[in-house]
């Protein structure tokens, strides 16, 4: 079985009825990048940068970040690399003094893009490092915790200003660096129409979207049974985001943990998803499930999925839709 899976490294990610699906990888270390490349990921869909700020007392410099981002880009040999800007907060606190260490509601506090915009020098050092890496291969920038159009506009303005300055300094910077938003705050998902014209792509962060939508802390075991993507509200919102993105011809991926769960593959395909971003560890299993799936049949069954009224109904749909 391992050998059979291994053969899928170089096989296309195509459904039984001939539709190509994009499989991107989530990575947060050199090892993840190497493994993403080896498993035949089409690129990196989520390169988390928090690790550069954790377990140390000083902020990483622009130069240090640049070298790591450049090596990541080179490590993917021409496949696109999606670098997420810093997503620290009191819930993922660092020791450099950047993130607040105690907030009453850290998940609702100064985290993600809010933290970056509150520390323009830190944000600029990271964006400069990313833009410099774009001279070495295709790079995209992904912004976490977006709740409104203004945040995208603020990042976009900084990026264009920095690109001009970098070129004046003699650095090679890609002509265009696509900018994307994580859709993980319900406000951004519900009002997607209000900001979609400002982004080049979207990535749905279901880990946080589920937490915020169901008001269930993703790290609190006491509400662990409530924290689940198998809730009708989650499925309806996912379907709505995917449809809106498709109507605007904006690429959309799911990069939360559910994208790497082979059992969730038929459900996500039924909701219209054609781009997954997942940890390389389960990439081949997910590829196998996609190759065994009949997309037309799943999309037909999608209506029934959205009619399910509870978790048991959704679980039944999943059981009945698993590839034979």
Provide the annotated binding site for Mg(2+): 184, 208
Residue 183 interacting entry, from Mg ion, ligand PEP, none, C-beta within 5 to 8 Å by type: none
Three-class secondary structure of residue 142 per DSSP: strand
End-to-end CA distance of the chain: give it in Å, rounded. 17
Cα 48–chain centre separation: 9
Please tell me the distance from the alpha carbon of residue 164 to that of residue 171, in angstroms, as a whole number.
10
* Region binding Mg ion by CB under 5 A among candidate stretches 164-172, 183-191, 233-241, 285-293: 183-191
* Region binding ligand PEP by CB under 6 A among candidate stretches 99-107, 172-180, 204-212, 287-295: 204-212
Residue that has been written with the tokens 């970040």 in this structure: 65
* Region binding ligand PEP by CB under 6 A among candidate stretches 33-41, 164-172, 200-208, 290-298: 200-208
Candidates 90, 143, 181, 255; catalytic one: 255
Residue that has been written with the tokens 């509870």 in this structure: 310
| Rounded least distance, CB 80 to ligand PEP, Å | 17
Please tell me the distance from the alpha carbon of residue 219 to that of residue 91, in angstroms, as a whole number.
9
Tokens of 139: 């790079």
Closer Cβ to ligand PEP, 13 or 203, answer by number: 203
Closer Cβ to Mg ion, 87 or 294, answer by number: 87
| Rounded least distance, CB 106 to Mg ion, Å | 13
Quote the radius of gyration of the chain (alpha carbons, Å).
19
Does residue 184 belong to the site contacting ligand PEP (CB under 6 A)?
yes
Does residue 206 belong to the site contacting ligand PEP (CB under 6 A)?
yes
Residue 255 interacting entry, from ligand PEP, Mg ion, none, C-beta within 5 to 8 Å by type: ligand PEP
Interface residue with ligand PEP among 37, 42, 48, 140 (CB under 6 A) is 48
Please tell me the distance from the alpha carbon of residue 56 to that of residue 256, in angstroms, as a whole number.
27
Interface residue with Mg ion among 32, 151, 208, 257 (CB under 5 A) is 208
Please answer whether residues 214 and 233 qualify as being in contact, where contact means their C-beta atoms are separated by less than 8 angstroms. yes
Alpha carbon of 25 to those of 80, 160, 178, 221: distances in Å?
10, 27, 18, 28
Does residue 87 belong to the site contacting ligand PEP (CB under 6 A)?
yes
Residue that has been written with the tokens 């291994």 in this structure: 6
Does residue 205 belong to the site contacting Mg ion (CB under 5 A)?
yes
Runs of H (alpha helix) within the chain: 2-6, 30-38, 62-75, 113-118, 120-133, 149-168, 186-190, 206-214, 232-247, 265-270, 283-291, 295-307, 311-321
Compute, in degrees rounded to 10, the torsion defined by CA atoms 231, 111, 53, 129. 100
Does residue 151 belong to the site contacting Mg ion (CB under 5 A)?
no
Closer Cβ to ligand PEP, 196 or 204, answer by number: 204
| Rounded least distance, CB 185 to ligand PEP, Å | 10
Interface residue with ligand PEP among 208, 213, 231, 283 (CB under 6 A) is 208
* Region binding ligand PEP by CB under 6 A among candidate stretches 15-23, 167-175, 202-210, 233-241: 202-210
Annotated catalytic residue 273: no
Cα 155–chain centre separation: 17
Three-class secondary structure of residue 286 per DSSP: helix
Task: Please report, as ranges, the residues that interact with Mg ion according to CB under 5 A.
Answer: 184, 205, 208
Task: Please report, as ranges, the residues that interact with ligand PEP according to CB under 6 A.
Answer: 46, 48, 87, 184, 205-208, 255-256
- Catalytic residue set: 255
């Amino acid at each position: 079985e391992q050998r059979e899976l291994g053969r899928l490294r170089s096989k296309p990610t195509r459904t039984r009825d001939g539709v190509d699906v994009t499989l991107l990888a989530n990575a947060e270390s050199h090892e993840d990048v190497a493994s993403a490349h080896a498993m035949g990921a089409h690129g990196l869909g989520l390169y988390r940068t928090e690790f550069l700020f954790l377990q140390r007392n000083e902020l990483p410099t622009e130069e240090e970040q640049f070298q790591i981002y450049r090596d990541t880009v080179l490590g993917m040999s021409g496949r696109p690399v999606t670098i997420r800007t810093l997503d620290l907060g009191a819930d993922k606190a660092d020791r450099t003094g950047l993130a607040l260490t105690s907030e009453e509601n850290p998940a609702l506090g100064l985290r993600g893009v809010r933290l970056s915009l509150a520390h323009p020098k830190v944000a600029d050092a990271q964006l400069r490092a990313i833009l410099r890496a774009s001279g070495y291969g295709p790079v995209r920038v992904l912004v976490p915790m977006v709740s409104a159009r203004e945040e995208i506009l603020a990042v976009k303005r900084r990026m264009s200003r920095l690109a001009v300055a970098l070129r004046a300094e003699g650095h090679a910077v890609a002509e265009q660096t696509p900018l994307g938003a994580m859709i993980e705050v319900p406000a951004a998902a519900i009002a997607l129409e209000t900001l979609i014209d400002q982004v080049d792509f979207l990535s749905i962060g279901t880990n946080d979207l589920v937490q915020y939508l169901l008001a269930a802390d993703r790290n609190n075991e006491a509400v662990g049974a409530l924290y689940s993507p198998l809730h009708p509200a989650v499925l309806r919102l996912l379907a709505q985001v995917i449809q809106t993105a498709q109507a605007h011809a904006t690429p959309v991926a799911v990069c939360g943990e559910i994208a790497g769960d082979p059992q969730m593959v038929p459900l996500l395909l039924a909701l219209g998803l054609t781009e997954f971003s997942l940890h390389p560890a389960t990439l081949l299993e997910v590829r196998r499930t996609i190759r065994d799936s009949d997309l037309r049949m799943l999309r037909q069954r999608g209506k029934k999925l959205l009619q399910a009224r509870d978790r048991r109904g959704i679980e039944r749909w999943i059981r009945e839709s698993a590839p034979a």
